Amino acid sequence: MELAKVINAMSTSNDLPQELRENYRELMELESLYHTKKDEYLRKLGAHVESSNALDIVRDLFGKIRIEEVELNDFFEIYPQQPEIALKVLELITSTQAETLFKFSIYSPGVKNADSLPRLENAMWGEIAKLKNLKKININKRCITLADLTEMCQNMSQLRSVKFRVDYCESDLPIDRDDFASKFSNTFAEVEEFCFDPNGEKDGNETFMEELTNFCIKNLPNLALVGSETFESDMFQACMETEKESKLTHLAISARNLKEAAENVDKFPSVSFLAIVLYATKDDLNRTLSKEEKKSLKKLRRLAIFKEYPRKGFGSFGYKLQKEIQTTREIRFVSRSI
């Protein structure tokens, strides 16, 4: 059904407010449409229009205006009892906007790290895979396995930022499989941000998070940021095993591995943020730096000013560390239980 027929039918029965008709005409005058204007219109539309008619309007809208970014979570929220609507909208997107779309999200700022989320359906990530010019993906309202994510993104050569919730229960991390490592490396070769949190509670999955973080560093030398945005994983393994120079800007090392890691900082010339993971042990809190450690850490010339001492006693180690390497640049310390 054409949009004109839909609007005319609704207007005769007073189902569509004059404001929405005027909003639509304003949108149609734009050459391209950012998600903020589109989202505002669709939310208003959802309050007055049945899903079938809304799809007709969206189809007409997407057919006439270039859409550069899409927030699919809006459709889940507008029609919570009809989750299939989001898939139908996604199919409209891939059929009309596959060449122009650069950012795709299923995101909500209200999602907590402990939330247990449903899996991203195969049909949905299969449609997302058709958006080959995407530069940014941000999915925190669904979780996805590492294998499915790699399959979904393998033809997205423009991809630079990936943020997602990983289904670690179903994500066997085949770090010893050369075929997967090669596919993973080729798929995300140009990605600069690869950020992830586990689906559900972090407790009990620290090992998985650490393995995945180090796996990414070793296989993706163009990364600037990697891992969880709320949880520091020890990157010691990657420091020891990485062969290529890394563009990583954020480095996290446990205090107990600092000496060995410091000997390899030449591989990370772009680091501007150092997080030292301190375990609540006497050895960690009272340790000092060797001459070799101090000499190595001085190579981190680009450290930004950032300090956080979460527990009493950490300040003493931090003060000694900064004094010993003779720098006013501050370093972050992160507490971690055994």
pLDDT in tens, 245-301: 999 998 888 777 877 887 788 898 888 787 777 665 556 555 666 676 666 666 665
Among candidate residues 228, 256, 272, the one where a domain is terminated: 228
pTM metric for this prediction: 0.77
Q: Are residues 222 and 262 in the same domain?
A: no
Residue type at 295? K
Other residues' Cβ atoms within 10 Å of the Cβ of residue 32: 10
Average pLDDT over every residue of 94-116: 85
Q: Is residue 4 part of a domain?
A: no
Region for 153 from its dihedrals, namely left if φ exceeds 0, alpha if ψ lies in -120 to 50, beta otherwise: alpha
pLDDT at 170: 59
- Check which CATH number belongs to the domain holding 146 and give it: 3.80.10
Confidence of residue 168 (pLDDT cuts 50, 70, 90): confident
Structural domain includes residue 14: no
User: Cα angle at 162 between 31 and 217, to 5 degrees?
Assistant: 145
Report the Cα 295 to chain-centroid distance in Å.
Answer: 35
Model confidence at 185: pLDDT above 60: yes
Residues 275 and 171 in one domain: no
Per-residue confidence (pLDDT) for residue 66, from 0 to 100: 78
Phi, psi angles (nearest 5°) of residue 187 = -65, -45
- Pair (209, 241) in one structural domain: no
Query: Which residues have C-beta within 8 Å of that of residue 303, sequence separation ≥ 6?
Result: 271, 272, 273, 274, 327, 329, 330, 331
The total number of structural domains that make up the chain: 2
Among residues 203, 135, 196, 206, which one has the least CA distance to residue 167? 196
CA distance 331 to 334: 10
Q: Which helix (H) or strand (E) holds 26?
A: helix 18-28
Amino acid at the residue 160:
R
3-state secondary structure of 140: strand
List the domain range (segments joined by +) for residue 333. 232-338
Structure token pair of residue 37: 């204007």
Beta-carbon contacts of 237 under 8 Å, excluding residues fewer than 6 positions away, are 210, 214
Write down the residue that tokens 């956080």 correspond to.
308
- Domain C-terminal end among 228, 249, 268: 228
Coil, helix or strand at residue 119: strand
Note whether 219 and 281 are same-domain residues: no
Q: What is the pLDDT of residues 301-331, one digit of tens each?
A: 555 433 333 444 444 555 555 555 544 444 5
pLDDT digits (tens, 9 = 90+) for 135-147: 999 999 999 989 8
Give domain status of residue 71, yes or no.
no
Same domain, 153 and 258: no
> Which secondary structure element, helix H or strand E, spans residue 204, and what is its range?
none
**Is residue 219 domain-shared with residue 241, that is, in the same domain?**
no
Do 266 and 223 share a domain, yes or no? no
Q: Does 194 reside within a domain?
A: yes
The first and second tokens of residue 88, run together, are 């139908």
Does residue 241 share a domain with residue 197? no
Last residue of a domain, one of 228, 245, 271: 228
